[in-house]
Structure 1
């Protein structure tokens, strides 16, 4: 898990014999928090993710996240710069040093547009979707699925290229379920690790005999596309109101009538949001559709916020 890490004086830490200065807190979740740090040797900014590990199972999960970063090397998947496990009394913390993206997440971009009373241009949507799909394809090619794709887990670089992050929920793409016990285990895992308003229908009520595959990510991709088009996820409001998302996702999504986007983009959205996974395209097929809509997705002069 990397070389020993120590917390030093004046708000610095040392990872792999390199010192980093704490700048400020970027965010925090239930069992982790992220700080902006500056490398004292190279002068670059990084995001330092610190995962609280209360027991051996927590440490195993943190190591899994490290392994997933190391498994997939692709421009559209967040790389890991360094890592270490540090003891905090009887507990441990996993420290993941990651690149810092000052433009933030796709969700922050969507929110900024919504506050201005405007929506994302179709050309930009296609560009971002293309990059997300390339990242997913890289993950799927390794036999894994992301399982928690959502706008807050997509970073945007200076060229508007999306970068997938938060790889802790990644697991085997193909999950064969052969008993009610296995079905319940998968269902419970999904309830803990897959964000409810972006979770595929087949993960809410897992059948006793079935195969879950990487097209759970395609459903989530559809929710991300919807969010870019309409300023919020298709099931965000249902969740916020306390209504049943599990029930809502069993019905085919009704795409709001609009004149902003082409019928082809609406058809793509509908294909991604097919309730039955067998009816959804694989990511390679989605890429083909995107390239037909926009033959040259690279080098786009995007409109910045």
Structure 2
């Protein structure tokens, strides 16, 4: 682990014996901030995620997020450049230094197109879906699930390739629930860590004796695919209106008719968003289906976004 020193001069910090210059704030959440910094040793831009840690549990969760990043060396999963814990008296901040993606997230792209009255083409959607599936396949292969897949957690590289980020909600893929207390604890955890409009039905009302598995990610991926097709997630408006998302996800989703999309793509999103998790296709199956729909053989690029 690197050691972050105090601010050395106005707007610079040191991580792993390398100095970084603060450029601007990129965003903030409930207990974290993301800043744009420049490495003075290489001239590259990075995103510095600072997580406020009030308790030991916060520190452990931040360490776990860093560990999740380090598990993977995959082009469709965000890699960790450096990690350190910074102490400020009794307060602590976990610092995750991450690559900076100037194009932002998939949601940024969807919004940009909507502002112009446009949408992603089916070829673009399939290319993005292919990369997301490959990232999820790598996560599932190691026995984990992402648990918070959504368009704002998918970055876009310079050539439009999707990169999965925000691994703070990742946990073991298969969770054996034995008893009502464990079921309620998992349900409460999901309410805090899994975005409501992309959360799988089985996480809203966890059964006392069941297995929650990586198929929660397949549901979320279906919601992401829907958002790429129609410019918003299938339950975004339900949530914004204040209606019950928990109730809405219990009914089979109706996919709007659109001349922009093939019947195969419509069938694909419908299969992912089946209420019964055991009826959803596994990621390797989805991957082969998406590859079969590609206009060019995998590895050759169609038009980028």
Query: Which category describes the TM-score, using the shorter chain as reference length?
Result: over 0.9
Aligned to 1:118: 118
* Match in the other structure for 1:66: 66
CA RMSD of aligned residues (A): 0.9
The question of whether the paired residues in 2 share the 8 Å contact of 1:72 and 1:142 is answered with no
Structure 2: unaligned runs, 5 residues or longer: none
1:254 aligns with 2:254: yes
How far is the alpha carbon of 1:303 from its aligned partner?
4.5
> 1:115-159: per-residue Cα shift (whole Å, max 9, x none)?
111111000000000000000011101100000000000000011
Measure, in 2, the Cα distance between the counterparts of 1:286 and 1:170.
21
Match of 1:91 in 2: 91
Written as runs of structure 1 = structure 2, the 5 A alignment for 1:157-236 is 157-236=157-236
1:18 aligns with 2:18: yes
In 2, Cα distance between equivalents of 1:125 and 1:88: 45
Distance 2:173 2:132 in 1: 17
Query: Residue 244 of structure 1 aligns with which residue?
Result: 244
> TM-score of the superposition, structure 2-length normalised?
0.98
What's the offset of the Cα at 1:9?
1.0
What is residue 299 of structure 1 aligned with on the other side?
300
Contact 2:184 / 2:206 at 8 angstroms: preserved in 1?
Answer: yes
Query: Mind listing any 5+ residue stretches in structure 1 that lack a counterpart?
Result: none
**Quick check: 1:127–1:297 contact (8 Å CA) kept in 2?**
no
- Measure how far apart 1:6 and its partner are: 2.5
> In 1, are the aligned partners of 2:123 and 2:302 still within 8 Å (CA)?
no
- String of CA shifts for 1:222-266, please: whole Å, max 9, x gaps: 000000000000000000110000000000000011111000000
| Residue matched to 1:101 | 101
Aligned residues: 304
Partner of 2:128: 128
CA distance in 2, matches of 1:76, 1:122: 20
State the TM-score, normalized to the length of structure 1. Answer: 0.98
